[in-house]
């Protein structure tokens, strides 16, 4: 694994898109798992303290002891970590905005209404538009295909929060096969090689839970993400205020 930061308590790595953080019932055949790879690489036990979806790439923080893992868990639960993502979404987004829509937890997905786990929880996501693209490819009733590159900062950490929130406001993330738009996914896959979910965790900022020093860990999106954006830059337009 590419190590972005490490000390005696913590280690941060660049997780590739398509890799599980730890073993999952979703795919027991998966051989490449971050925790197992890193345990072998560092020759010690490693404990994940937050998670990224399998399809999401970017900075992932892990602890090197039970004590550090507990301290990090408290830090995340108290929302003392600033998380920044980049996402390519369908359509032209506003210059900036915030989505405040309650979401069910992962445990409540299959529970009936009224079950405690099925009660939607507070969820908030803010974003700022970085670039907008208008591609001369007709799709449905539209003569062009539009998309936006956005900087995203989730203020809470719900299941698939960014993906579900952008789908809720009709701007699904390109490449999202669970909450996205299949027609747009196909266009960006066939014309720009977007074979992945276009969502990348690019930065974590927090006060170290043990040393209390400020930590700012950056992870620029990898080539599977940036190659798509570089191709779209030909079709970049001035940001819309609509």
pLDDT tens across 178-224, in order? 998 999 999 999 999 999 999 999 999 999 999 999 999 999 999 99
Tokens of 241: 């205020």
Q: Is the pLDDT of residue 109 over 80?
A: no
Query: Among 20-34, 56-70, 132-146, 210-224, whose mean pLDDT is lowest?
Result: 20-34
Q: What average pLDDT does this structure show over 85-91?
A: 97
Handedness of CA 167, 176, 51, 214 (dihedral sign): negative
Picking from 198, 166, 192, 181, the residue whose alpha carbon sits closest to that of residue 93 is 166
| Strand boundaries in the chain, DSSP class E | 2-6, 10-15, 47-48, 57-63, 82-90, 96-100, 124-135, 145-154, 199-207, 214-218, 236-237
Output the pLDDT for position 54.
93
Exposure b/e, 176-185, CB count within 10 A at least 16 = b: beebbbeebb
Q: What is the CATH number of domain 2-237?
A: 3.30.2350.10
Average pLDDT, the chain: 91
From the list 7, 53, 222, 230, the catalytic residue is 53
DSSP, res 108: G
**Catalytic annotation present for 27:** no
pLDDT tens by residue, 9-48 = 999 999 999 999 987 655 556 667 999 999 999 999 999 9
* pLDDT above 70: percentage of residues in the chain: 90
Cβ neighbours, 10 Å, residue 217: 19
Q: What average pLDDT does this structure show over 162-177?
A: 96
Instruction: Compute CA 210 distance to the chain's CA centroid, rounded to the nearest angstrom.
Output: 26
């Amino acid at each position: 694994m590419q190590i972005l930061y490490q000390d005696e308590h913590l280690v941060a790595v660049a997780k590739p898109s398509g890799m599980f953080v730890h073993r999952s019932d979703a795919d027991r055949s998966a051989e490449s798992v971050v925790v197992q790879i890193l345990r072998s690489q560092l020759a010690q036990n490693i404990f994940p303290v937050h998670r990224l979806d399998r399809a999401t790439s970017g900075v992932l923080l892990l602890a090197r002891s039970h004590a550090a893992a507990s301290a990090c868990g408290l830090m995340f639960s108290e929302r003392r970590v600033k998380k920044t993502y980049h996402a390519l979404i369908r359509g032209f987004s506003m210059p900036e905005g915030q989505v405040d829509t309650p979401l069910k937890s992962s445990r409540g997905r299959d529970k009936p209404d009224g079950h405690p786990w099925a009660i939607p929880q507070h969820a908030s996501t803010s974003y700022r538009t970085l670039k907008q693209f208008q591609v001369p490819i007709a799709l449905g009733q539209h003569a062009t295909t539009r998309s936006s590159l956005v900087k995203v900062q989730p203020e809470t950490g719900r299941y698939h929060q960014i993906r579900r929130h952008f789908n809720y406001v009709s701007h699904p993330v390109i490449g999202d096969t669970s909450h996205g738009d299949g027609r747009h996914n196909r266009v960006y896959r066939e014309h720009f090689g977007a074979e992945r979910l276009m969502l990348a965790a690019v930065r974590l900022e927090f006060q170290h839970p043990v040393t209390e020093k400020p930590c700012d860990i950056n992870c620029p999106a990898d080539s599977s993400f940036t190659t798509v954006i570089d191709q779209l830059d030909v079709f970049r337009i001035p940001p819309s205020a609509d």
